[in-house]
Structure 1
């Protein structure tokens, strides 16, 4: 990989030849996107208008607005980074090994973790309903809904994006040749890393919101394993942007130059949406939320590429732990939230207890059960020696 002025120098510790070099800013950002999902799920019990497994006795408008802002960009950011790192891995390993690795570390975890990460949520919901007679729970008879991927839906959509991207690349090489395919990819990288690129990147997001008809929810996730048009269009667009950006070694540096402007425009766009509260035409709302989400995404990429260029042990540890934490967090967060739901404690206290307790449990299990075991090798593609892991912890 060509190293630009904003990308870190190669690590001193030797990496296997087929392992993509860690770009510390993007690596931290990817982990942060996953960890923000835990924060969002801790928010939802206090948002009465949002369907959830249970609701707290108190509501918070501030958490509802924060939930909207984070949801507008979080998964777009994650999918864009997945595309960037995916193109990097494909360059190193080839298409066949890349798809095989993603099937092992993306698709297989969705299947393997479903019984412990998704199935218990139904039991917790029934438990809450049994102690709260006025709680209405919809009757579910559709097998597809009963065996919904739950919070692991993003793994399924990501795998769909990977397969489509690799297939389209193979077709382009087959019909127009490798050189023209590379030239086209470089042209798209130049476009997406330009100041107008954020507008082009927003188009699939806009289409997704228009299809679903609801701009205040960002891109709504699928509820079954059957592919849905809106999320696939929106997230495939984000994945493709990251995939294309990899084709220019200075693409991230170009984006980083305007990180302040991107964050300002993103804040203005999303603020208009919050002020309007859905009282604007759907096309305008779709454009504002898409532009806001993508500007925040570009801005955060710029921040991390400018200020997180060196390895930081704590951040790297959390980046490594974030995948396990997200896979396993929801039953823990829901169980803690249910135990606090009827208590007369301020919202900020309940939220703090939920986040601190769940994070402690998830980090402890990561350190003891995952980091230095075959599970860690499976999920993160590397195994940490016990002695080194103890020093890091």
Structure 2
């Protein structure tokens, strides 16, 4: 073995050892679940989307509601966990530069490729089908800000806002309490959140956010209307991020969550059913507690399950975890391009979905493998370039 090969092998093994495989897979799954959510939107009943299929089903509505309840809270909770991990491993300066490069810059660089074509495709699809574009609801957002809508990349903008808030609070606490006492406080909070009542504590910010915004038709927290901070969005997701941040401070937190995985899963299923029952009433006061508990229970259940059953090196899952960022950034124009020719075909919804999922998955994985994984784009988005391998879905770390 050459010195270069030995160095590559050593660095790769070190990177693998430092990964939290269960959470890595779960973070990727949360992003890929966003693709599933957007693929369901053409089939929902009486709710305008960029492309409305000729066939609709209430099952699509229910699927969108349940996914929307927890997906972004789950992502933000995991982001909080990895944020503290990276801060302690690399320091504040490296962390800040890394997040600006890998979170902030993609919003600007990928907007012309991932967001701008969405409106164009929606107009083309409507014209091809002899339809008019659905009218957007009235908005108080300034036209300039509306034109700069980050689209499905809004969560990256919110994540940057959360970093500013959390790092500011961290700096104040470390200044007032001292580094050791601030760390002890974070560990204490991690013990509360991973304890028997942790799921209830985690639900509180989400419930407050629902009350602030009113009862949404999809049960979850709405996306921001612009790149400006919005109170309800930040309340919900700063809360989820803080939970993940403090869970990292508690060494046994993930083990404690894994022990309660089945109880949390049962609570998640029951409360999700309750959300589907309450939503038609439009009662925010009734929806807030059950939606918040459902969101928190799904986050805890899925975290516990992944930590328990996926806490090891699995090349295919690791590959998809690496690919998920690119796949999510680029998926929406591709989805629309697939959905337009399918919209008026007399096919069952499940057949249209299977076609959409297969084509989308194949195109996105191949584009990631050829254009991203072993190139400078992969080093930019994922923090490192992987050795070239073929076929895809292998890590090249053998």
TM-score bracket, normalised by the shorter chain, equals over 0.9
Distance 1:390 1:326, change over 3 A: closer
Correspondence for 1:130 among 127, 130, 136: 127
Runs of 4+ with >4 A deviation: 15-20, 387-391
Q: Deviations over 1:321-347 (max 9, x none)?
A: 000000000000011001110111111
Q: Give the aligned partner of residue 214 of structure 1.
A: 215
Q: Give the aligned partner of residue 91 of structure 2.
A: 94
Q: Deviations over 1:276-315 (max 9, x none)?
A: 3432742221110010111011001110111112111111
Q: Give the aligned partner of residue 63 of structure 1.
A: 60
Correspondence for 1:231 among 219, 230, 233: 233
The count of residues paired between Structure 1 and Structure 2 equals 382
CA distance in 2, matches of 1:104, 1:134: 41
Contact 2:154 2:224 in 1 (8 A): yes
Q: Does 1:287 align with 2:289?
A: yes
Distance 1:162 1:67, change over 3 A: same
Distance 1:187 1:54, change over 3 A: same
Q: Does 1:303 align with 2:300?
A: no
Q: Give the aligned partner of residue 26 of structure 1.
A: 23
Correspondence for 2:81 among 80, 84, 106: 84
Q: Give the aligned partner of residue 188 of structure 2.
A: 187
Q: Give the aligned partner of residue 248 of structure 2.
A: 246
CA distance in 2, matches of 1:283, 1:275: 14
CA distance in 1, matches of 2:206, 2:46: 23
Q: Give the aligned partner of residue 349 of structure 2.
A: 347
Gaps of at least 5 residues in structure 2 are 1-8
Correspondence for 1:319 among 318, 321, 330: 321
Q: Give the aligned partner of residue 159 of structure 2.
A: 158
Q: Deviations over 1:166-185 (max 9, x none)?
A: 11101111122112211211
Q: Deviations over 1:69-109 (max 9, x none)?
A: 11101110000000000000000111121111001000101
**Larger displacement relative to structure 2 (42-51 or 355-364):** 42-51
CA distance in 2, matches of 1:280, 1:213: 8
Q: Give the aligned partner of residue 6 of structure 2.
A: none
CA distance in 1, matches of 2:314, 2:220: 32
Contact 2:268 2:297 in 1 (8 A): yes
Correspondence for 1:255 among 242, 257, 273: 257
CA distance in 2, matches of 1:53, 1:88: 39
Q: Deviations over 1:246-270 (max 9, x none)?
A: 0011001011111000010111111
Q: Deviations over 1:187-214 (max 9, x none)?
A: 1011000011111111110111111102
Q: Give the aligned partner of residue 3 of structure 1.
A: none
CA distance in 2, matches of 1:49, 1:236: 32
TM-score by length of 2: 0.92
Contact 1:19 1:89 in 2 (8 A): no
Q: Over aligned residue pairs, what C-alpha RMSD do you find? A: 2.0
Query: Aligned-pair distance for 1:388?
Result: 7.7
TM-score by length of 1: 0.93
Query: Aligned-pair distance for 1:20?
Result: 8.6
Q: Deviations over 1:352-386 (max 9, x none)?
A: 11111011100000010000000001000111112
CA distance in 2, matches of 1:158, 1:184: 23
CA distance in 1, matches of 2:393, 2:60: 37
CA distance in 2, matches of 1:296, 1:58: 30
Query: Aligned-pair distance for 1:390?
Result: 6.1
CA distance in 2, matches of 1:129, 1:17: 51
Q: Give the aligned partner of residue 379 of structure 1.
A: 381
